Structure 1
């Protein structure tokens, strides 16, 4: 079985979800420091900030996903959103590109970076 790639939008959403769980976990750690209200409050505050950061990331990716190009995946036939020159299908993980110069080349997410564009 080949390499499975993941969609950039899903990666960012997964990161934001991880921030939510990390924030809840950090806040919960504050319970173990009930004897020291300052340390307990510090843990709860750090956890709260992680949850707020996840909200910002979710908002940012939501705004970014409104500017994506929607294409139909040639493999599974489902509509998926493309972010950048190369991306992967959200459903079947098929590598996708809309750049004619990259057709037939090995899939590399570095094609989305400006340095890699100059190396073509």
Structure 2
């Protein structure tokens, strides 16, 4: 069974990882003090990673304002649902707003515009 996560939390984790990756890239630049051009390249790549993280955080923040807030039937806590199916951000309960999908096995492919092929 694949461990599913809430989409908003997954994207926020990716943005946080970008920040740490940027710091690590910048740290590698310190090893090239004798070659200022290489050091500056590492510093700029790290900065680009941190800027990309800022853009992702802004994007998910805007996306989060459009998400539908529901109360999870399992844990009773409010959570946001993006797309047709999502997981509760607290207890990982599968959630859907589409009455056609109620009772079906959770599959993230339901969020795609075209239906998933059978057997895949």
Both proteins in one fold, TM over 0.5: yes
- Quote how far apart the aligned CAs of 1:116 are: 1.9
- Quote how far apart the aligned CAs of 1:5 are: 2.2
TM-score, normalization by structure 1: 0.93
Return the alpha-carbon distance in structure 1 between the equivalents of residues 91 and 50 of structure 2.
30
Q: Which residue matches 2:72? A: 73
SS of the aligned residue for 1:66 comes to: helix
Q: Which residue matches 1:97? A: 96
TM-score, normalization by structure 2: 0.93
Please list every run of 5 or more consecutive structure 1 residues that lacks an aligned counterpart in the other structure.
none
Matches within 5 A, 1:10-29: 10-29=9-28
Return the alpha-carbon distance in structure 2 between the equivalents of residues 14 and 72 of structure 1.
23
Return the alpha-carbon distance in structure 1 between the equivalents of residues 92 and 2 of structure 2.
9
Return the alpha-carbon distance in structure 2 between the equivalents of residues 29 and 45 of structure 1.
12
Matches within 5 A, 1:100-111: 100-111=99-110
Q: Would you identify which runs of 4 or more consecutive aligned residues in structure 1 move more than 6 Å?
A: none
Return the alpha-carbon distance in structure 2 between the equivalents of residues 93 and 25 of structure 1.
31
Q: Which residue matches 2:52? A: 53
Task: Say whether the 8 Å CA contact 1:85–1:97 is kept in structure 2.
Answer: yes
The more displaced of 107-116 and 81-90 is 107-116
Please list every run of 5 or more consecutive structure 2 residues that lacks an aligned counterpart in the other structure.
none
SS of the aligned residue for 2:73 comes to: coil
Aligned residues: 118
CA RMSD of aligned residues (A): 1.6
